[in-house]
Structure 1
Amino acid sequence: MSKTIFITGASRGFGKIWAEAFLKRGDKVVATARDINKLDHLVKEYGDSILTIQLDVNNRAAGFAAIKKAKEHFGSLDVVINNAGYGLFGTIEETSEEQAREQLETNVFGLLWITQAAIPVMREQGFGHIIQVSSVLGVVTLPILGIYTASKFAVEGLSESLAAEVKDFGIKITLVEPNTFSTDWYNTSAIHTDRIEAYDQLKESFYGNMTEDSIGKPEATVDAVLQLADNENPPLRLFLGKMAYPWTKYIYEERLKSWEEWSEVSAAAHG
């Protein structure tokens, strides 16, 4: 039985690849993007199976209108994939107020508005699955991507709380946490801060550690996302890529070790 899939940021990267994969197997897709002209080839090939909507996720009212239009057009809303977002590259000191606010506006608030719009629709129909595209950088950190990481940590906390709030309505929540993939996120869609020379060596080391083997192929994520959308009992979290789990495992083992070493001090602070 075909599903209705709503995807933000569907004009490139993961969003475009996943939208086409859902269409190819016979699902209905609501594909949103700032520039829907980039989706013309999908409309030409899949016709009535796809509805394109021009959307800037930062516009809360437009997000609610897009969800309403999707429901009215296809009759139901099975899966919402909050994929829209971008990466801000630069150190904390280098980041301007405007850059920091815009990063959080899109990656956190844009996702929040679409989520808020989808919940009442799914609650009324008694089912639904919201897939939040987070990142491995929502659970571990790197230098040079501090504000981006902060945005994904926010998405993680928001979505885990949300899962507990909506589970009795038949609504499932999943955080998808990719490691680095060769999408536009790392290239043309990225925003870079102005340079402070003191960080040049750190940046050289950061970019030098990117090896071909550590960067995943976006097309390889399709089977995982299709399985996720079809699962009756989906996980709260799903890594994408082979680098994310071992890295996170190591980092959390180190964190637990540190908390254990300071546990007596922590307990004494309770009073």
Structure 2
Amino acid sequence: MAKTIFITGASRGFGKLWAEALLQRGDKVVATARDLSSLDDLVSKYGDNILALQLDVNNREAGFAAVAKAKEHFGSIDVLINNAGYGLFGAIEENTEKEAREQMETNFFGLLWLTQAIIPVMREQGHGHIIQLSSVLGLITIPMLGLYNASKFAVEGLSETLATEVKGFGINVTLIEPNGFATDWSGASAAQSVAMPEYDALKAASATGRPDDMWGVPEATTEAALKLIDSENPPLRLLLGKYAYPWIKPNYENRFNEWNDWADVSAAAHGK
């Protein structure tokens, strides 16, 4: 049965790939972008099955208005894919206040506003699926992406909590956690802080030793995205890419080992 899917950041990358895959199989798609012309090809090809809306996700009022317009146009919204976001590259000391706030505005608050807007629609329907684009870097961190890491860690905490709050309304929540993919996430979509020479050596070291196939093929994610959307019992978390799990596993094992080493100190700090 065809579904109606609302996708933010549909102008490029995963958002556009998944939007077209959904349209190709007959679903209805509400595709949002800051630049509407980036969606002209989909509109001309798929006609009435796509509703293209201009949206800056940082604008909470505009997000609520877009959801209301989509609901009025298609009658229901089965799935929200919060895809809009970008990476801010630079050491934490290099990041300016403006850069830090803008990173959180888009990656966290923009996602929050659309999530808040969609919940009443899905609650009224008695069903829905909220899919949040997180990252492996919402689970572990790497240098030079501290604010991006922080924004995705925030998305993880928000969405895990959300899942417990809306389950009784028939709404599922999934965090998609990709490893690196060859989208323009680190290219045209990215922001870069002004470099400080003190971090040159660390940046150079961070760029070495990467496998040749580190960046996944974006088109290969489409099947996983469709399977997730079609699932009657979707997972809370879904890793994408072959490096995600082996990268995360030792990190979490180290956490447990460290907690265990300090368990006596932790327990004594309780006081009784």
TM-score category by the smaller chain? Answer: over 0.9
The residue aligned with 2:261 is: 261
After TM superposition, the structure 1 = structure 2 runs for residues 67-82 of structure 1, keeping only pairs within 5 Å, are 67-82=67-82
The residue aligned with 1:135 is: 135
1:252 maps to a residue whose letter is: Y
Q: Which moved more, 1:125-134 or 1:186-195?
A: 186-195
1:60 maps to a residue whose letter is: R
SS at match of 1:213: coil
> What's the CA shift for 1:36?
1.1
| In 1: Cα distance, 2:62 partner to 2:151 partner | 22
After TM superposition, the structure 1 = structure 2 runs for residues 183-262 of structure 1, keeping only pairs within 5 Å, are 183-262=183-262
SS at match of 1:182: coil
1:91 paired with 2:91, answer yes
The residue aligned with 2:103 is: 103
The residue aligned with 1:162 is: 162
| In 2: Cα distance, 1:87 partner to 1:177 partner | 14
Instruction: Give the 4+ runs in structure 1 shifted more than 4 A.
Output: none
Unaligned runs of 5+ in 2: none
CA offset digits 1:167-224 (Å, max 9, x no partner)? 0000000000000000010111110111110100111111224433111000000000
The residue aligned with 1:145 is: 145
The residue aligned with 2:55 is: 55
The residue aligned with 1:171 is: 171
The residue aligned with 2:39 is: 39
| In 2: Cα distance, 1:193 partner to 1:246 partner | 30
| In 1: Cα distance, 2:46 partner to 2:87 partner | 31
| In 2: Cα distance, 1:208 partner to 1:34 partner | 35
TM-score (normalised: structure 1): 0.99
| In 1: Cα distance, 2:208 partner to 2:186 partner | 14
CA 1:187–1:210 in structure 2 vs 1: closer, same or farther (change >3 Å)? farther
| In 2: Cα distance, 1:215 partner to 1:195 partner | 24
| In 2: Cα distance, 1:47 partner to 1:58 partner | 28
| In 2: Cα distance, 1:191 partner to 1:209 partner | 24
Unaligned runs of 5+ in 1: none
| In 1: Cα distance, 2:206 partner to 2:178 partner | 18
Please provide the CA RMSD for this pair.
0.6
1:87 maps to a residue whose letter is: G
| In 1: Cα distance, 2:210 partner to 2:97 partner | 28
State, as a whole percentage, how many aligned pairs show the same letter.
Answer: 68
TM-score (normalised: structure 2): 0.99
> What's the CA shift for 1:257?
0.5
CA offset digits 1:3-59 (Å, max 9, x no partner)? 000000000000000000000111000000000101101111101000000000000
SS at match of 1:184: coil
Q: Which moved more, 1:116-125 or 1:185-194?
A: 185-194
2:6 maps to a residue whose letter is: F
CA offset digits 1:55-98 (Å, max 9, x no partner)? 00000000000001111101110000000000000000000000
CA offset digits 1:96-145 (Å, max 9, x no partner)? 00000000000000000000000000000100000000000000011100
The residue aligned with 2:115 is: 115
| In 2: Cα distance, 1:16 partner to 1:204 partner | 33
